[in-house]
């Protein structure tokens, strides 16, 4: 996963090891009565795939020379090669060392428009659905979608201006609620409007005016009951803006129009949220309340609240209300002293705080709203801005214009008769820096209903997962109870707007796609395997390309692991690697080296140099590292040093696994080690026999891309973009990756294609797509003639923007390699952060569920709850382990390869069985999964502490904006690390 540098030469491309030591020539047993794997005999691809090349080209073979690896091995394949595509005599073949941007025959750089890609979003339409899938066993599933009847009333939008301006949605809603209470029967013409809390008001039918100004007085309830309450006056101007077109919405739902009327959908969504916004605590599209289910303690002053997600969606069955259960962490409404005691895990009343304690409290309480408790019924509320560096007993402040000083202790005693008992503790600072007020901790209580937005620690995550992890049947029942409790039939806003909601889960036709046959090495007892319910094991099987590890060492950072225990674990792991098909030296280069976590860099360099001395200059091939279970920043530090400084491939193992040696664990670790060394564990049998439609016929490269953003509250760290691409056509199992840092929270991948001016060479082209295409050419000897691009992490609102920008970058990267090189592209967005859940139709039918009660792996849905006209589908490709499975949602935005519904669904499902790290099918297509892992790994190069406590660590120094690009580039990876899937 090389890291991009702005001035880096395009010649510094990836070199992928292409080891395939054993030729797959012998066809496995033919299929008889469905018991054997598919026959490997070559089939006529043309008859199945009209887009395949002419037969005269398919039959020709060409030399695969020029692709010897740096160790001199020959990349071998079966002697009969139906997958090899010959190059036409007049077909240009791009040079892996090409440096200049492509020019058209008339001169000048080829633009995106010249490449046939429309740059205007107005002229861009997403891929239409090519039909519905037919492959697989048909079944019925239930979905958490509830049919919503379209209203027949006019929807009107009004602009709301409140003076003086109010930042809080809660206050805005209180103002508008008071306005409706006072004027509904008169000035509002008996209308009951819905309000978005900001600038828009919606009504069913017109108001009696085009514009009108109201004066509203609002009492400040936070002032308590003793004495007169403060009263604030607001001017509210309501002005007509537009009428929503429901006819347009009806046509869109019927499939007669391709463009969704977002305004009408937004109005209906706000209407159905209005009542819940008054009843519950709204956060995003979800609503939470301690009354829905009793809050559960998460530790360190936090608790989980139960809630529900709600969103109106256009589907093939019409409008649908998507309801799902939700949980979130909230700050417990505790006295501040009790919160601090929980946070620090010790008695804070009798001992002074350390500097680290102070920092921890400040981070936890900054931005939190507290109320004072020392003034009887007066419960004024403040937001915490900081913590004093001095204890309360030392704090003084001026009380008048003459700079007369008074201590905080004296002031609270004289003003409120409140004696501060714990003057050794610091005070909370509230207000801004110019006029900060001091509040003693013991005089404050945290206000309830505040969501905790910072990163949870491991203990809290575990506790939250226990709360949220529900079996499918329980989740389904909770969703149905939520719909009944919300009683949309009696919702005054739904009635006002004429919206009717069904109380039954949608019943949807689904299909269960068959699992693919997997190919293992011919020397194993089992040469091929058909997974059962999404899983299989390595018993009697050997990796199809097992790598060799001669020089390895082990470093032990865990104090509780004795050297003899570490030695025994390493021996067991080496044996498992051998059994699985690797050549693994049972003896390390040097004895197990014990080290302290705080001296990670020193220890790693010692082991590195000691091993080099022992092997007379030969570098280590693998470093095993035993880490404490709770290892803080150690993991991130180790990966950063190994991959950007020493050039070491490393495999970390936790102490708990060293003590409790499990065969399953060792087998999984051996799978990870093999792919890190450049090997492959298994491949699809259909890939070996060249029977994957629109992949096997011509050289096809499959990309995965993702962008990870820094956590909430971190305002300086960059976002990390990662792109991976398959390197082993026709098997499409092995991937190489690239990462780059880009602007904070930028979703578009900036480094897909770029050009810069070189004083000698002129305009130089580069970027991640270009380098990965070059890498594919070097690894396979073929240039990609088809591109499939899986893009993770894009929300619906970003579809147009991402497709426009990134497809154009792909086009330009291709054109920069040679004139007229424009392979057809299929661009698919992968979404996991959605709220559609699929449930078995009958839980008592054991043949329709897995062990956890979830729907079976391979379940695909492309009707009823999917988009009215566009090419999307839900695929649950994995078996549930615990909780309710979440299907992945795939949306084909652009398709120049003319995939059928069955084609893309089967390809995606089959790829989910090729994930290298385990013997299970995974929930997201592997290229997207690998891109996520790569981006997550790269963040350790800047923020190695993030895994444990969420602090930015070194990021404050390492990610400040610099230079033209605006972001400090990631540290470069060592060459030998770039070649392999080390992020696995």
Pairing of the two strands 593-594 and 552-556: parallel
- The pLDDT of residue 260 is 87
Q: How far is the C-alpha of 9 from the C-alpha of 80, rounded, in Å?
A: 38
- The pLDDT of residue 7 is 37
Residue (of 407, 400, 405, 403) closest to 438 by Cα position: 407
Residue with tokens 């006029």: 435
Q: Are 717 and 745 in contact (CB under 8 A)?
A: no
Contacts of 876 (CB under 8 A, 6+ apart): 838, 854, 855, 856, 857, 858, 859, 860, 885, 886, 887, 888, 923
- The pLDDT of residue 228 is 56
317 token code pair: 């069955």
Q: Are 156 and 243 in contact (CB under 8 A)?
A: yes
For residue 851, give the DSSP letter. T
Q: How far is the C-alpha of 662 from the C-alpha of 898, rounded, in Å?
A: 46
Q: Is the dihedral of CA 562, 565, 567, 569 positive or negative?
A: negative
Phi-psi region of 836 (alpha: psi -120 to 50; beta: other; left: phi over 0): beta
- The pLDDT of residue 318 is 94
- The pLDDT of residue 458 is 85
492 token code pair: 């005054």
Q: Are 288 and 306 in contact (CB under 8 A)?
A: yes
Domains within the chain, CATH numbers bracketed: 152-244 (no CATH), 336-447 (2.170.260.10), 546-679 (3.40.50.2300)
Secondary structure class of 723 (helix, strand, coil): strand
What residues are paired with 281 via a beta bridge?
A: 288
Which residue stretches of 632-732 are H helix?
634-641, 655-659, 663-676, 685-688
Q: How far is the C-alpha of 455 from the C-alpha of 450, rounded, in Å?
A: 15
180 token code pair: 């409706």
Determine the Cα angle at 710 with ends 893 and 446, to 5°. 120
- The pLDDT of residue 57 is 39
Name the average pLDDT for the chain. 85
Q: Please provide the DSSP assignment of 128-178 as one string.
A: BP------SEEEEEEESEEEEEPP-S-EEEEEEEEES----HHHHHHHHHH
Residue (of 287, 310, 272, 321) closest to 504 by Cα position: 321
377 token code pair: 């019924």
Render pLDDT for 536-554 as a digit per residue (tens, 0 to 9). Answer: 999 999 999 999 999 999 9
Three-state SS string across 561-626, please? CCHHHHHHHHHHHHHHHHHCCCEECCCCCCCCEECCHHHHHHHHHHHHHHHHHHCCCCCCCEEEEE
Phi-psi region of 197 (alpha: psi -120 to 50; beta: other; left: phi over 0): left
Count of CB atoms situated within 10 Å of the CB of 155:
24
Q: How far is the C-alpha of 521 from the C-alpha of 215, rounded, in Å?
A: 80
Strands (E) across 247-332 are located at 281-283, 286-289, 296-299, 302-315, 318-331
For 765, phi then psi, to 5°, come to -100, 150
Q: Are 517 and 686 in contact (CB under 8 A)?
A: yes
449 token code pair: 């209903």
Q: How far is the C-alpha of 653 from the C-alpha of 662, rounded, in Å?
A: 12
Q: How far is the C-alpha of 972 from the C-alpha of 970, rounded, in Å?
A: 6
347 by Cβ neighbours in 10 Å (0-12 / 13-18 / 19+) ranks as: exposed
For residue 629, give the DSSP letter. S
Cis amide prior to 169 (ω within 30 degrees): no
The torsion angle over the Cα atoms of residues 53, 55, 61 and 62, rounded to 10 degrees, is -40
- The pLDDT of residue 94 is 65
Q: Are 956 and 20 in contact (CB under 8 A)?
A: no
Residue (of 297, 305, 370) closest to 336 by Cα position: 370
For 817, phi then psi, to 5°, come to -85, -35
- The pLDDT of residue 83 is 54
Secondary structure class of 420 (helix, strand, coil): coil
Q: How far is the C-alpha of 937 from the C-alpha of 1, rounded, in Å?
A: 10
Q: Is the dihedral of CA 967, 952, 933, 793 positive or negative?
A: negative
The torsion angle over the Cα atoms of residues 122, 127, 130 and 135, rounded to 10 degrees, is -160
Residue with tokens 């702005």: 6
Q: Are 894 and 803 in contact (CB under 8 A)?
A: yes
For residue 39, give the DSSP letter. P
Residues of the chain with pLDDT under 70: 1-123, 221-229, 432-436, 713, 943-965
Count of CB atoms situated within 10 Å of the CB of 344:
18
Residue (of 662, 772, 828, 814) closest to 109 by Cα position: 814
Q: How far is the C-alpha of 219 from the C-alpha of 222, rounded, in Å?
A: 9
Residue (of 636, 720, 707, 643) closest to 953 by Cα position: 636
82 token code pair: 């139906």
């Amino acid at each position: 996963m090389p890291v991009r540098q702005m001035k880096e030469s395009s010649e510094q491309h990836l070199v992928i090891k292409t080891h395939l030591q054993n030729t797959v020539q012998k066809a496995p047993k033919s299929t008889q009565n469905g018991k054997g794997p598919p026959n490997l005999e070559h089939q006529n691809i043309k008859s199945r795939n009209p887009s395949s090349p002419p037969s005269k080209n398919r039959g020709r073979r060409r030399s695969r020379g020029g692709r010897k690896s740096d160790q001199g091995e020959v990349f071998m394949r079966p002697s009969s090669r139906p997958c090899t595509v010959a190059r036409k005599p007049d077909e240009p073949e791009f040079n892996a060392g090409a440096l200049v941007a492509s020019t058209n025959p008339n001169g000048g750089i080829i633009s995106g428009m010249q490449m046939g890609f429309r740059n205007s979003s107005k002229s861009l339409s997403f891929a239409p659905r090519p039909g519905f899938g037919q492959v697989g066993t048909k079944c019925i599933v239930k979905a958490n979608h509830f049919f919503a009847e379209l209203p027949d009333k006019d929807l009107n939008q009004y602009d709301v201006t409140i003076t003086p301006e109010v930042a809080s949605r809660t206050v805005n809603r209180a103002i508008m609620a008071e306005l409706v209470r006072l004027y509904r029967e008169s000035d509002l013409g008996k209308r009951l409007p819905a309000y978005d809390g900001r600038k828009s008001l919606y009504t069913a039918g017109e108001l009696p005016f085009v514009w009108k100004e109201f004066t509203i007085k609002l009492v400040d309830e936070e002032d308590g009951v003793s004495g007169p309450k403060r009263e604030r006056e607001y001017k509210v101007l309501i002005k007509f803006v537009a009428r929503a077109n429901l006819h347009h919405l009806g046509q869109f739902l019927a499939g007669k129009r391709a463009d969704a009327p977002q305004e009408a959908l937004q109005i209906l969504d706000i209407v159905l949220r209005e009542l819940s916004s008054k009843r519950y605590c709204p956060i995003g599209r979800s609503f939470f309340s301690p009354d829905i289910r009793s809050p559960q303690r998460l530790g360190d002053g936090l608790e989980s609240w139960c809630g529900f997600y709600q969103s109106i969606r256009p589907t093939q069955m019409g409008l649908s209300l998507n309801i799902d259960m939700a949980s979130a962490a909230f700050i417990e409404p505790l006295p501040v002293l009790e919160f601090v005691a929980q946070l620090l895990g010790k008695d804070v009343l009798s001992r002074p705080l350390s500097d680290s304690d102070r920092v921890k409290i400040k981070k936890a309480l900054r931005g939190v709203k507290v109320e004072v408790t020392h003034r009887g019924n007066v419960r004024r509320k403040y937001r915490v801005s900081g913590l004093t560096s001095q204890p309360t007993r030392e704090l003084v402040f001026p009380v008048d214009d003459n700079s007369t000083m008074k201590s905080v202790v004296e002031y609270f005693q004289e003003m409120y008769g409140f004696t501060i008992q714990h003057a050794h503790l610091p005070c909370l600072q509230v207000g801004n820096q110019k006029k900060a007020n001091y509040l003693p901790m013991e005089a404050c209580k945290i206000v309830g209903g505040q969501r905790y937005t910072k990163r949870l620690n491991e203990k809290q995550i575990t506790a939250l997962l226990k709360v949220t992890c529900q079996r499918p049947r329980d989740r389904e029942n909770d969703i149905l109870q939520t719909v009944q409790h919300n009683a949309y039939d009696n919702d005054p806003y739904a009635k006002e707007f004429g919206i009717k909601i069904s109380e039954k889960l949608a019943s949807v036709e689904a299909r269960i796609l068959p699992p693919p046959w997997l190919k293992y090495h011919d020397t194993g007892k089992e040469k091929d395997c058909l997974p059962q319910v999404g899983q299989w094991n390595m018993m009697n099987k050997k990796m199809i390309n097992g790598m060799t590890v001669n020089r390895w060492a082990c470093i032990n950072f865990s104090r509780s692991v004795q050297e003899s225990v570490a030695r025994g674990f390493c021996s067991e792991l080496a044996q498992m690697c051998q059994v699985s098909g690797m050549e693994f030296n049972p003896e390390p280069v040097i004895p197990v080296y014990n080290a302290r976590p705080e001296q990670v860099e020193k220890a790693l360099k010692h082991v590195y140099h000691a091993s080099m001395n022992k092997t007379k200059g030969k570098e280590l091939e693998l470093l095993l590292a035993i880490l404490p279970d709770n290892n803080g920043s150690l993991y991130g530090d180790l990966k950063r040093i190994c991959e950007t400084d020493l050039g070491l491939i490393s495999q970390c193992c936790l102490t708990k696994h060293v003590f409790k040696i499990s065969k399953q664990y060792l087998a999984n670790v051996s799978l990870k080690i093999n792919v890190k060394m450049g090997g492959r564990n298994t491949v699809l049998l259909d890939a070996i026999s060249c029977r994957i439609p629109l992949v096997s016929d011509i050289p096809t490269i499959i990309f995965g891309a993702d962008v990870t953003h820094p956590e909430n509250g971190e305002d300086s760290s960059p976002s990390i973009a990662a792109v991976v691409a398959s390197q082993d056509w026709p098997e499409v199992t092995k991937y190489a990756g690239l990462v780059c840092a880009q602007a904070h929270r930028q979703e578009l991948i900036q480094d897909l294609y770029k050009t810069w001016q070189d004083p000698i060479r002129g305009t130089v082209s580069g970027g991640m797509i270009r380098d990965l295409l070059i890498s594919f050419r070097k690894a396979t000897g073929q240039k990609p003639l088809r591109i499939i691009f899986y893009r993770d992490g894009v929300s619906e609102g970003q579809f147009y923007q991402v497709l426009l920008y990134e497809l154009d970058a792909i086009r330009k990267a291709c054109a920069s390699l040679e004139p007229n090189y424009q392979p057809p592209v299929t661009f698919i967005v992968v979404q996991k952060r959605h709220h559609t859940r699929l449930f078995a139709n009958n839980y008592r039918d054991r043949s329709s569920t897995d062990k956890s009660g979830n729907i079976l792996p391979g379940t695909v849905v492309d009707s009823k709850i999917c988009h009215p006209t566009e090419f999307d589908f839900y695929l649950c490709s994995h078996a549930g382990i615990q909780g309710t499975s979440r299907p992945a949602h795939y949306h084909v935005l652009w398709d120049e390869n003319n995939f059928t519904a069955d084609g893309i669904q089967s390809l995606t499902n089959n790829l989910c069985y090729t994930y290298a790290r385990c013997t299970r099918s995974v929930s997201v297509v592997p290229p997207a999964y690998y891109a996520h892992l790569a981006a997550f790994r790269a963040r350790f190069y800047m923020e190695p502490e993030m895994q444990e406590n969420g602090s930015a660590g070194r990021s404050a120094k390492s990610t400040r904006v610099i230079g033209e690009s605006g972001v400090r580039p990631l540290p470069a990876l060592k060459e030998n690390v770039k070649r392999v899937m080390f992020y696995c």
